[in-house]
Amino acid sequence: MAVALPVCVKDFEDFAQRNLPKYVYNYFAGGSSDEQTLQDNVKAYRRIWLKPRLMRDVSNRDLSTTILGQRIAFPIAISPTGVHCMAHPDGEIATARAAAALETGMAVSTYSTNKMEEVARSAPEGLRWLQINVFKDRELLKNFVKRAENLGFKALFLTMDKPVEGAGRYNVHGKFVLPAQYSLGNFQGLINVRSYAQTDKLRDKSATWDSVDWLRSITRLPIVAKGILTAEDAREAVKHGVSGILVSNHGGRGLDGVPATIDVLSEVVEAVKGSGVEVYVDGGIRMGTDVVKALALGAQAVFVGRAVIWGLAYDGENGVKKVLEILRDEFSIAMALSGCRSLDEISADLVEKRSAYSSKL
């Protein structure tokens, strides 16, 4: 019997669950502890109604926007996720090529299986950023930053919400180890890193906001604060000179029990209003209508992670392209049905939040 072609992100995930080795699927799909936050990231979007405006000319729609001054064709970019080669042998190279082909950006993880140099060579015209952590070894961190600058990366996404590993069931007691055929490419020739226990030891658990100041002092690249969930931390990030904020809870893989990202997005946007700092959001985005909701609540763009992994598992570069195309096209349709011709017309009056505890009649 012929296998039906995927038509939505859920179809790609179902394929990945059936076809990836169980430990690989569990690694990518899993969250921390009871996975409350992982699940709520998705459910929170279902608690938001769209309130469309009708009888508007939507025959021509402009989906494009910018991230830190760099144009992307539609407001959906790729979140930093590690070890893409576990989903497909072409790994981050395939992801970068797909992003470039669709004219959007990709944040490359510090823990990518392909070196940042290989990613840059694979899609030289592509827009890319590097995700980093604060390492105890500042010379190692400098090495990563300078390589990113020399390779034409356009920003650094500094992960702030994970000084230690979350209590993931996929990584019980930090015992998750990369299979022998894979390695963390960015560390090659520097140190041997193969397990979560080792990456955990690299991070500076004493890092403070002063670490952001230090990072700004060694680079000309703009810094995006990744992991902000509160107005207080958003204002602190502005004080320390960041250029962007990615509202994120690490896809539910850090501290379990924190809010869904879409539920705190407005709070962060309001906190940085007038500062010039851009705000993005990731976590739980599975459909084009989710993108409309996020933009209506103030996001400049959204970032997707697991959806890209499921596309990789399906068909490498072509699978990632297909996922991005589906999300883009769903978003375009949702814009039209909401009465919007450009991103500027996606405003807060298009959405209404329902209570998480509203009765079901």
Residues 112-133 have pLDDT tens digits of 999 999 999 999 999 999 999 9
**pLDDT over threshold 80, residue 224:** yes
pLDDT at 1 over 50: no
pLDDT value at residue 361: 42
348 in a structural domain: no
- Residue 122 included in any domain: yes
User: How many distinct structural domains can be found in the chain?
Assistant: 1
Q: How far is CA 119 from CA 99, 226, 310, 317, in A?
A: 11, 21, 19, 13
pLDDT > 50? residue 210: yes
Domain assignment present for residue 354? The answer is: no
Partners of residue 38 on adjacent β-strands = none
| CATH of residue 94 | 3.20.20.70
Q: Which pLDDT value is given to residue 4? A: 76
Query: Does 37 reside within a domain?
Result: yes
At residue 173, does pLDDT exceed 60? Answer: no
Q: Is residue 349 part of a domain?
A: no
> pLDDT tens, 34-86?
999 999 999 999 999 999 999 999 999 999 999 999 999 999 999 999 999 99
CA gap 283, 262 in Å, rounded: 8
The pLDDT value recorded for residue 2 is 43
Catalytic residue among 84, 88, 240, 250: 250
| Whole-structure pTM value | 0.95
What was the pLDDT predicted at 359? 44
pLDDT > 90? residue 296: yes
Q: Which residue has the tokens 């490359």?
A: 108
For residue 168, name the pLDDT band (cuts at 50, 70, 90).
confident
Does the pLDDT at position 110 exceed 90? yes
Question: Sorting pLDDT into bands at 50, 70 and 90, what band is 174?
Answer: low
Rounded mean pLDDT of the chain? Answer: 94
| Residue 250 designated active-site | yes
Query: Quick one: pLDDT at residue 171?
Result: 64
Q: What is the pLDDT of residues 263-288, one digit of tens each?
A: 999 999 999 999 999 999 999 999 99
Name the residue range of residue 304's domain.
9-341
Q: How does residue 211 score in pLDDT terms, banded at 50, 70 and 90?
A: very high
Cβ(189)–Cβ(121) below 8 Å: no
pLDDT of amino acid 316: 98
In a domain, 350, yes or no: no
CA atoms of 261 and 242, how far apart (whole Å): 19
Q: What percent of the chain has pLDDT over 90?
A: 87
Residue 173 maps to a domain: yes
Tell whether 235 is covered by a domain: yes
- Residue 176 is predicted with a pLDDT of 73
